Amino acid sequence: MIKAVFFDIDGTLVSFQTHCIPKSAKQAISQLKSKGVKVFIATGRHWRVINNLDGLEFDGYVTLNGSCCYVGRDELIYKRLIPEEDIRHLLELQAGDEHFPCIFVRANDMFINYVNEHTDIIFKMLNFPEPPRRNIREALKEDVFQLIGFFQMYQEKRIMAQLSGCEATRWNPLFTDIVPIGGSKSIGMAKILEYFGISRDECMAFGDGGNDIPMLEYAGVGVAMGNAKEDVQAKSDFVTESVDEDGIVYALRHFGLI
Protein backbone atom coordinates (compact mmCIF):
# COMPACT_ATOMS: atom_id res chain seq x y z
CA MET A 1 0.00 0.00 0.00
CA ILE A 2 1.42 3.39 -1.01
CA LYS A 3 1.48 5.83 1.92
CA ALA A 4 3.81 8.51 0.51
CA VAL A 5 4.52 10.05 -2.89
CA PHE A 6 7.59 12.15 -3.75
CA PHE A 7 7.59 14.57 -6.68
CA ASP A 8 10.51 16.18 -8.45
CA ILE A 9 9.62 19.71 -9.56
CA ASP A 10 11.15 20.78 -12.89
CA GLY A 11 10.04 18.62 -15.79
CA THR A 12 7.97 16.40 -13.49
CA LEU A 13 5.45 18.40 -11.52
CA VAL A 14 6.12 21.67 -13.35
CA SER A 15 6.16 22.01 -17.14
CA PHE A 16 9.22 23.47 -18.85
CA GLN A 17 6.82 24.97 -21.38
CA THR A 18 4.35 26.76 -19.08
CA HIS A 19 6.40 26.93 -15.84
CA CYS A 20 3.21 25.82 -14.08
CA ILE A 21 1.75 22.69 -12.50
CA PRO A 22 -0.98 21.25 -14.73
CA LYS A 23 -4.46 21.57 -13.24
CA SER A 24 -4.86 17.80 -13.40
CA ALA A 25 -1.77 17.31 -11.19
CA LYS A 26 -3.04 19.80 -8.61
CA GLN A 27 -6.33 17.92 -8.41
CA ALA A 28 -4.50 14.60 -8.12
CA ILE A 29 -2.39 15.85 -5.21
CA SER A 30 -5.54 17.04 -3.45
CA GLN A 31 -7.07 13.60 -3.93
CA LEU A 32 -3.98 11.90 -2.50
CA LYS A 33 -4.14 14.09 0.59
CA SER A 34 -7.84 13.38 1.06
CA LYS A 35 -6.98 9.67 1.17
CA GLY A 36 -4.31 10.18 3.82
CA VAL A 37 -1.33 9.75 1.49
CA LYS A 38 1.62 11.97 2.44
CA VAL A 39 2.96 14.10 -0.42
CA PHE A 40 6.52 15.40 -0.60
CA ILE A 41 8.75 17.44 -2.86
CA ALA A 42 12.21 16.13 -3.84
CA THR A 43 14.17 18.75 -5.78
CA GLY A 44 17.61 20.08 -6.56
CA ARG A 45 16.34 23.57 -5.82
CA HIS A 46 17.15 25.60 -2.71
CA TRP A 47 14.16 26.32 -0.49
CA ARG A 48 14.32 30.03 -1.38
CA VAL A 49 13.91 29.38 -5.12
CA ILE A 50 11.05 26.92 -4.94
CA ASN A 51 8.88 29.52 -6.61
CA ASN A 52 6.62 27.47 -8.86
CA LEU A 53 4.33 25.29 -6.73
CA ASP A 54 1.32 27.58 -7.09
CA GLY A 55 0.67 27.71 -3.35
CA LEU A 56 0.37 23.94 -2.91
CA GLU A 57 1.39 22.70 0.52
CA PHE A 58 3.37 19.49 1.01
CA ASP A 59 4.12 17.37 4.06
CA GLY A 60 7.86 17.78 3.62
CA TYR A 61 10.61 18.86 1.27
CA VAL A 62 13.82 17.16 0.15
CA THR A 63 15.84 20.10 -1.19
CA LEU A 64 19.31 20.51 -2.71
CA ASN A 65 19.23 16.89 -3.92
CA GLY A 66 18.97 15.60 -0.36
CA SER A 67 21.37 18.00 1.37
CA CYS A 68 18.58 19.76 3.31
CA CYS A 69 15.38 17.98 4.33
CA TYR A 70 12.36 19.56 5.99
CA VAL A 71 9.18 18.33 7.62
CA GLY A 72 6.54 20.85 6.73
CA ARG A 73 8.00 24.17 5.67
CA ASP A 74 10.21 24.92 8.64
CA GLU A 75 11.45 21.88 10.57
CA LEU A 76 14.95 20.97 9.33
CA ILE A 77 15.57 17.29 10.08
CA TYR A 78 18.73 16.63 8.06
CA LYS A 79 21.60 18.53 6.45
CA ARG A 80 24.86 17.63 4.72
CA LEU A 81 27.65 20.04 3.68
CA ILE A 82 30.20 20.36 0.87
CA PRO A 83 33.61 19.79 2.53
CA GLU A 84 35.53 23.04 3.04
CA GLU A 85 38.60 21.43 1.45
CA ASP A 86 36.64 20.93 -1.78
CA ILE A 87 35.54 24.58 -1.75
CA ARG A 88 39.21 25.57 -1.56
CA HIS A 89 40.11 23.23 -4.41
CA LEU A 90 37.29 24.70 -6.49
CA LEU A 91 38.61 28.21 -5.91
CA GLU A 92 42.04 27.02 -7.05
CA LEU A 93 40.49 25.59 -10.23
CA GLN A 94 38.70 28.86 -10.90
CA ALA A 95 41.94 30.76 -10.48
CA GLY A 96 43.60 28.51 -13.06
CA ASP A 97 42.44 27.15 -16.42
CA GLU A 98 39.02 25.80 -15.33
CA HIS A 99 37.01 29.01 -15.12
CA PHE A 100 33.23 28.52 -15.22
CA PRO A 101 30.09 30.02 -13.68
CA CYS A 102 29.22 28.39 -10.39
CA ILE A 103 26.36 28.93 -7.97
CA PHE A 104 27.24 28.50 -4.30
CA VAL A 105 24.19 27.44 -2.28
CA ARG A 106 24.21 28.26 1.43
CA ALA A 107 21.66 27.87 4.22
CA ASN A 108 19.88 31.17 3.67
CA ASP A 109 21.07 32.42 0.31
CA MET A 110 23.04 31.68 -2.84
CA PHE A 111 25.33 33.59 -5.18
CA ILE A 112 27.09 33.17 -8.52
CA ASN A 113 30.59 34.26 -9.50
CA TYR A 114 29.59 35.36 -13.02
CA VAL A 115 27.07 34.59 -15.77
CA ASN A 116 27.36 33.65 -19.45
CA GLU A 117 25.15 32.44 -22.30
CA HIS A 118 24.71 29.01 -20.68
CA THR A 119 23.46 30.43 -17.39
CA ASP A 120 21.07 32.68 -19.31
CA ILE A 121 19.61 29.66 -21.15
CA ILE A 122 19.09 27.67 -17.95
CA PHE A 123 17.65 30.53 -15.90
CA LYS A 124 15.11 31.19 -18.64
CA MET A 125 14.25 27.50 -19.06
CA LEU A 126 13.64 27.03 -15.33
CA ASN A 127 12.16 30.47 -14.67
CA PHE A 128 14.96 30.69 -12.11
CA PRO A 129 15.89 34.10 -10.64
CA GLU A 130 19.51 35.01 -11.33
CA PRO A 131 21.44 34.86 -8.03
CA PRO A 132 23.41 37.94 -6.97
CA ARG A 133 26.95 38.10 -8.35
CA ARG A 134 29.71 38.08 -5.74
CA ASN A 135 33.42 37.49 -5.41
CA ILE A 136 34.04 33.77 -5.45
CA ARG A 137 35.98 33.93 -2.16
CA GLU A 138 32.68 34.62 -0.41
CA ALA A 139 32.27 30.84 -0.53
CA LEU A 140 34.76 30.50 2.34
CA LYS A 141 32.71 32.61 4.75
CA GLU A 142 29.74 30.27 5.32
CA ASP A 143 28.83 26.60 4.97
CA VAL A 144 28.01 25.52 1.40
CA PHE A 145 25.37 22.82 0.88
CA GLN A 146 25.49 22.47 -2.91
CA LEU A 147 27.31 23.75 -5.98
CA ILE A 148 25.82 24.24 -9.42
CA GLY A 149 28.62 24.14 -11.97
CA PHE A 150 28.03 25.40 -15.50
CA PHE A 151 30.52 23.17 -17.27
CA GLN A 152 29.94 20.49 -19.89
CA MET A 153 30.39 16.73 -19.90
CA TYR A 154 33.86 16.77 -21.46
CA GLN A 155 35.07 18.88 -18.51
CA GLU A 156 33.32 16.93 -15.78
CA LYS A 157 35.82 14.15 -15.09
CA ARG A 158 38.72 16.59 -14.88
CA ILE A 159 36.91 19.00 -12.56
CA MET A 160 35.31 16.42 -10.29
CA ALA A 161 38.67 14.70 -9.78
CA GLN A 162 39.65 17.76 -7.75
CA LEU A 163 36.52 17.62 -5.58
CA SER A 164 37.11 14.34 -3.78
CA GLY A 165 34.30 14.80 -1.28
CA CYS A 166 31.66 15.50 -3.91
CA GLU A 167 29.81 13.88 -6.78
CA ALA A 168 28.05 15.29 -9.83
CA THR A 169 24.35 14.67 -10.47
CA ARG A 170 23.81 15.96 -13.98
CA TRP A 171 20.42 16.29 -15.65
CA ASN A 172 21.25 18.88 -18.32
CA PRO A 173 24.20 19.10 -20.75
CA LEU A 174 24.95 22.71 -19.73
CA PHE A 175 25.34 22.25 -15.98
CA THR A 176 25.49 19.79 -13.13
CA ASP A 177 24.43 19.82 -9.50
CA ILE A 178 27.38 19.00 -7.24
CA VAL A 179 26.52 17.42 -3.90
CA PRO A 180 28.47 15.84 -1.03
CA ILE A 181 29.32 12.18 -1.59
CA GLY A 182 26.58 10.12 -0.06
CA GLY A 183 24.07 12.89 -0.62
CA SER A 184 21.20 12.25 -3.01
CA LYS A 185 17.44 12.48 -3.25
CA SER A 186 17.26 8.88 -2.05
CA ILE A 187 19.09 9.80 1.17
CA GLY A 188 16.65 12.66 1.70
CA MET A 189 13.72 10.35 1.06
CA ALA A 190 15.04 7.89 3.64
CA LYS A 191 15.28 10.64 6.27
CA ILE A 192 11.73 11.83 5.57
CA LEU A 193 10.29 8.30 5.54
CA GLU A 194 12.07 7.43 8.79
CA TYR A 195 10.55 10.50 10.45
CA PHE A 196 7.02 9.48 9.44
CA GLY A 197 7.51 5.76 10.05
CA ILE A 198 6.89 4.79 6.43
CA SER A 199 8.91 2.09 4.64
CA ARG A 200 10.49 2.56 1.23
CA ASP A 201 8.18 -0.14 -0.15
CA GLU A 202 5.25 2.07 0.81
CA CYS A 203 6.37 5.06 -1.26
CA MET A 204 6.21 6.14 -4.89
CA ALA A 205 8.47 8.68 -6.60
CA PHE A 206 8.12 10.68 -9.81
CA GLY A 207 11.09 12.10 -11.72
CA ASP A 208 12.52 12.99 -15.11
CA GLY A 209 16.21 13.85 -14.70
CA GLY A 210 19.50 12.13 -14.01
CA ASN A 211 19.48 13.40 -10.43
CA ASP A 212 16.17 11.57 -9.97
CA ILE A 213 17.60 8.12 -10.71
CA PRO A 214 18.62 7.34 -7.08
CA MET A 215 15.12 8.34 -5.97
CA LEU A 216 13.38 6.20 -8.59
CA GLU A 217 15.54 3.21 -7.69
CA TYR A 218 14.99 3.68 -3.95
CA ALA A 219 11.20 4.04 -4.04
CA GLY A 220 8.90 1.05 -3.88
CA VAL A 221 7.51 2.32 -7.19
CA GLY A 222 9.66 4.62 -9.32
CA VAL A 223 7.80 6.47 -12.08
CA ALA A 224 9.66 8.19 -14.92
CA MET A 225 7.91 10.92 -16.85
CA GLY A 226 7.39 10.45 -20.58
CA ASN A 227 9.68 13.42 -21.19
CA ALA A 228 12.53 11.75 -19.25
CA LYS A 229 15.60 10.55 -21.11
CA GLU A 230 16.06 6.86 -21.85
CA ASP A 231 18.58 6.29 -19.05
CA VAL A 232 16.10 7.62 -16.50
CA GLN A 233 13.22 5.60 -17.92
CA ALA A 234 15.39 2.47 -17.82
CA LYS A 235 15.80 2.84 -14.04
CA SER A 236 12.09 3.21 -13.34
CA ASP A 237 9.35 0.69 -12.66
CA PHE A 238 6.85 2.51 -14.84
CA VAL A 239 6.99 5.17 -17.57
CA THR A 240 4.04 7.53 -17.65
CA GLU A 241 3.05 10.29 -20.05
CA SER A 242 4.92 13.61 -20.13
CA VAL A 243 4.22 16.40 -17.66
CA ASP A 244 2.32 18.29 -20.38
CA GLU A 245 0.21 15.21 -21.16
CA ASP A 246 -1.08 14.76 -17.59
CA GLY A 247 1.55 12.17 -16.72
CA ILE A 248 1.07 12.50 -12.95
CA VAL A 249 -2.62 11.65 -13.17
CA TYR A 250 -2.03 8.87 -15.69
CA ALA A 251 0.36 7.04 -13.37
CA LEU A 252 -1.63 7.57 -10.18
CA ARG A 253 -4.72 6.16 -11.89
CA HIS A 254 -2.71 3.26 -13.30
CA PHE A 255 -1.70 2.26 -9.77
CA GLY A 256 -5.16 2.89 -8.33
CA LEU A 257 -4.14 5.71 -6.02
CA ILE A 258 -6.80 8.12 -7.28
Sheet of 75-79, strands arranged across: 75-79, 68-71, 60-63, 38-42, 4-7, 203-207, 221-224, 238-239
pLDDT in the model for residue 108: 84
| pTM of this structure | 0.81
Please state whether beta strands 166-172 and 221-224 pair in parallel, antiparallel, or not at all (unpaired). unpaired
Active site residue 8: yes
What are 180-193's pLDDT values in tens digits?
988 889 999 999 99
d(CA 98, CA 94): 5
Which is nearest to 206 in space by CA: 19, 33, 28? 28
Low-confidence ranges of the chain (pLDDT < 50): none
Annotated catalytic residue, options 8, 59, 86, 177:
8
- Rounded-to-5 percentages of helix, strand, coil across the chain: 35, 25, 40
pLDDT in the model for residue 183: 80
pLDDT in the model for residue 51: 83
Kindly give the residue spans of alpha helices, DSSP state H, lying in 7-161. Answer: 23-34, 84-95, 117-126, 153-160
Count other Cβ atoms within 10 Å, centred on residue 39: 18
